[in-house]
Structure 1
Amino acid sequence: MATRDLTWFRAPGADRPGTTNLCYHALDLRVIRGEASAPALTTATGSYDVAWLLEQVGALGGVMRSFDLAPGQQVAIGLADPLTEAVAFLAALRLGAVVADTTDRASMVLTDGSLEPLGGVPALLHGVASQDPVWQLEWEFALSAGRTDPAPVVDVAGDAPALQVDGETVLTRDVPTHDSAAARLVMALGAGEAVAL
């Protein structure tokens, strides 16, 4: 796989980690480079370009931000559909959140039923009905709302966690090379490649 150097908003130095954003590296930068219509994701049912993916990620990020999701907070993602999961992962990165595979300490849950929403914790539900109108939003309704105020990119410290598995940080912002689907997604998109899901 080809690579492109990460774009730094503030360059790292001897006594500072610098700031960057993996979602910016994967999507925004490609639009700036004139690659908006280039294929980003392919599935068995179709192909999705960079502009479409950025629009979806920005909309989902807008909803997540409306629940005051802050950089460093955990987002538990349990989604079986790879396309939806990719959008969710990139939206969390856009906000500087940490993607986790468990609801322990989660500040938000994105699920199709594989993860149990927590009482008093915002949840976005994909394909399942809301049981709590205050804390749970259905996916398409949430995206419609998010399109009115899409999330901008958040500066994140280069050494900040991006992905945690079994409670351990396996991916940081400045070293997105872990052997996981999430890391491969970010690096392939950032390198200008289309990702088959």
Structure 2
Amino acid sequence: MATRTDLTWFRAPGADRPGTTNLCYHALDRRVINGEASSPALSTADRTYDVAALLEEVGALAGAMRSFDLAPGQVVAIGLGDPLLRALSVLATLRLGAVVSDSNEGAAMVLTDGSIDPVAGVPALLHGPEPVDPVWQLEWQFALKAGRTNPAPVVDVAGDATALSLAGATVLTRDVVAHDSEAGRLVAALGAGEVVAL
């Protein structure tokens, strides 16, 4: 399992500072910069995504999420049964410096196929269910299409900022790559150059 020292840091942590990083940058952007754009990164039964293609999908989703003024540190509830959509959602959330959650409690945004209920007055991207509130809810593919026109860049995140909130427990950004969760294993594997099979 990876350790926090394996992370790519924008500003290295020190005795009196947490450092800054971005977990999506560590997993994807850095690899494109290092000449690995065409390396396989993630495979499903239907398709294998290279690093560049996966980054394009993640950037588009993050762009759609950012259009709702999602800010760093805010909670994104992810309730998606499709492993590919979960992976994209986790990486897009981390790209924006937001917090990945498995509960809609306190969420500033909900990404769901119906397994987590949207929250009144909270933006939601819906994969499957038809939007019933045109102000706050958006159909997934429509959102992704809009996000492709303005993909989101990475956000600098402090190493001691919360990145995951799973089953009520929080995980700091610097610890995600060593955390035994779906999100932790995803970031660690991509950052290590492994192909993630879904």
Q: Aligning the two structures, in what range does the TM-score lie when normalised by the shorter sequence? A: over 0.9
SS of the aligned residue for 1:40 comes to: strand
- Superimposed CA distance per residue, residues 94-115 of structure 1 (whole angstroms, 9 cap, x where no aligned partner): 0000011111100000000001
Structure 1 alignment gaps of length 5 or more: none
Q: How does 1:31-70 map to 2 (within 5 A)?
A: 31-70=32-71
Separation in 1, partners of 2:63, 2:111: 14
Partner of 1:190: 191
Partner of 2:119: 118
Query: Identity percentage over the alignment?
Result: 73
- Normalised to the residue count of structure 1, the TM-score between the two structures is 0.96
Aligned Cα RMSD in Å?
1.3
- Superimposed CA distance per residue, residues 71-130 of structure 1 (whole angstroms, 9 cap, x where no aligned partner): 110000000000011000000000000011111100000000001101110000012211
- Superimposed CA distance per residue, residues 163-194 of structure 1 (whole angstroms, 9 cap, x where no aligned partner): 1112210x321112111111000000000110
Partner of 1:154: 155
How many residue pairs end up in the alignment? 196
Separation in 2, partners of 1:87, 1:178: 18
Structure 2 alignment gaps of length 5 or more: none
Separation in 2, partners of 1:145, 1:192: 30
- Superimposed CA distance per residue, residues 29-58 of structure 1 (whole angstroms, 9 cap, x where no aligned partner): 010011111111111222111111100110
* Amino acid across the alignment from 2:75: Q
Partner of 1:14: 15
- Normalised to the residue count of structure 2, the TM-score between the two structures is 0.96
Structure showing the higher helix proportion among its residues? 2
Separation in 2, partners of 1:92, 1:40: 18
Partner of 1:175: 175
